[in-house]
Amino acid sequence: MAIVEVNQVQVTFGEKTAVSAASFSIEKGETFSLIGESGCGKSTILRVLAGLQREWRGSIALLGEALTPGRRFEGELRRNVQMVFPHQLSGGQRQRVAIARALLLRPQLLLLDEPTSALDMSVQAEILNLLNRLKAEHEMTYLLVSHDADVIAHMSDRAALMAHGKIQKVFDREAMLRGEHRMG
């Protein structure tokens, strides 16, 4: 069952189009990643799916519930969709606290925006292993945004390359293991 269904979603800020026509779905229990250059719309999509960016066009269903632009998340949706911004945090301890806080509500969908940026390699590995363990234990679904190709390969079942506000290509696990998702 698809937990996330995004269809032709568009987000504009005045004259600037951040997301022009994004479409993808995420199955229950999957880790799906968005990769691409800075400014391609990855974090904007996370903010839409977290209910933080309420102005958008297109169609989105989360956990089987159709979203309405401009409306706040309420009830089950608010509890079941949580976001971790780790780029606003520094240090492994704070990262763990942010993840723990997001998991307190036992969400079905966890949105991870650069969860290991600014961490050294050993702490980064620890955080990723913690996320993988929690995902398995609680049958969670992750949507991950990261610039780090190694993090993407380690965590993801599938990854979508975004450019110019659109999904350009989707990589499966085998393609990532071959390194096809690495940009430049």
Q: What are phi and psi of 75, to 5 degrees?
A: 55, -130
Tokens standing for 126?
Answer: 């620890």
- Tell me what pLDDT residue 53 has: 94
Give me the residue spans of the domains in the chain.
2-176
Q: What is the mean pLDDT of residues 94-111?
A: 85
- Tell me what pLDDT residue 87 has: 59
**pLDDT 10s digits, 59-86:** 999 999 999 999 999 888 999 999 987 7
Q: Cα(112)–Cα(127) distance, rounded to whole angstroms?
A: 12
Which pLDDT band, with edges at 50, 70 and 90, does 106 fall under?
confident
Average pLDDT, the chain: 90
Instruction: Give me the CATH code for the 2-176 domain, please.
Output: 3.40.50.300
Q: What pTM was estimated for this model as a whole?
A: 0.91
